[in-house]
Amino acid sequence: MADRLNGYRILILETREEAQFSKLLAEQGADVVQCPMFAIHDAPDPAPVEAWIRRNIDSPFDDLVLMTGEGLRRMMKLARERGIDQAFVAALAKPRKFTRGPKPGRALREVGLEAQQTTEKPTTEGVIEMLSKIDLKGHRLGLQLYPDKDHSALIGALSAQGAEVDTVLPYVYDPKAADANIVTAIDDMAQGRIDAIALTNLGQVRRLVEAAKAHDSEDRLRDGLKRTLIASVGPAVSGELAAHGLRPDIVPAEDSYFMRPLISAMAAALAEKHPKAGAR
């Protein structure tokens, strides 16, 4: 149903899929306020990433675990630059492929491949739980990681199952690039200029709190969040909010942790709280 969000101002903190999320919200009539939380860059030293890709080409892994779609896209970009993208895709076709949530699965489909299994919960714990039921003994397992996360529990769990874990980190975050925009977004919420903030990964919650602390705006952030409906895409984000003493007002139905169900849940909640907002 079009125009369900007509008249509402929605703050989004997406970076990797900002354009897609913004488009979906705008299609529903929302006034989208964009505030990317960080810039994403290729790994500063491409040599380890290229070496990982070539190891996979020379001797394909038995199993492959993709934690993010961004990671695969960055590796494909490097493979194309080196002229080995077709060989890389052919190698990726051979192992069993496991993904943390739907986003890596979409990246796989972009190169004509499919995941054998996706976590029920798009979290590291979900990956550990999923793979605990898989026989990994003696398997070479390729593990694509993402920045700003301690992956020792995941690597340890896989190693304890007998897997030989080969990790790769294809990209890095530049958080400082967005600090000024984050402070502006905090002010907008505190002044009641935002109807809802949509959080689609736990890193956004961390960055929001970190930037607020760095700029002496933590109290202002909490005041702003009291005035603004908090929409969480799923359990990983909600858990991170809880770690900071916050809770979401809006969460999609269980097992519907995607952008479209999140937008539907936001429309329903906003209509209930601000029934006349769509007409203002």
Check residue 15 and give its pLDDT.
61
Domain 9-40+175-279 - what CATH class?
alpha beta
pLDDT digits (tens, 9 = 90+) for 129-164: 999 999 999 999 999 999 988 999 999 999 999 999
- For tokens 């984000």, name the residue: 237
CATH number for the domain formed by residue range(s) 44-169: 3.40.50.10090
Check residue 92 and give its pLDDT.
98
Domain with CATH 3.40.50.10090 in the chain: 9-40+175-279, 44-169
Check residue 52 and give its pLDDT.
98
Check residue 277 and give its pLDDT.
46
Full pLDDT tens readout for the chain, 280 residues: 567 899 899 999 866 566 678 888 998 899 999 998 777 899 999 999 999 999 999 999 999 999 999 999 999 999 999 999 999 999 999 999 999 988 899 999 999 999 999 998 788 999 999 999 999 999 999 999 999 889 999 999 999 999 999 999 999 988 777 788 899 999 999 999 999 999 988 888 998 999 999 999 999 999 999 999 999 988 989 999 999 999 999 998 876 667 888 889 999 999 887 665 444 4
Q: Which residues, other chains included, contact 140 with Cβ-Cβ below 8 Å and sequence gap of 6+?
A: 59, 61, 62, 63, 163, 164, 166
Check residue 280 and give its pLDDT.
41
Check residue 23 and give its pLDDT.
86
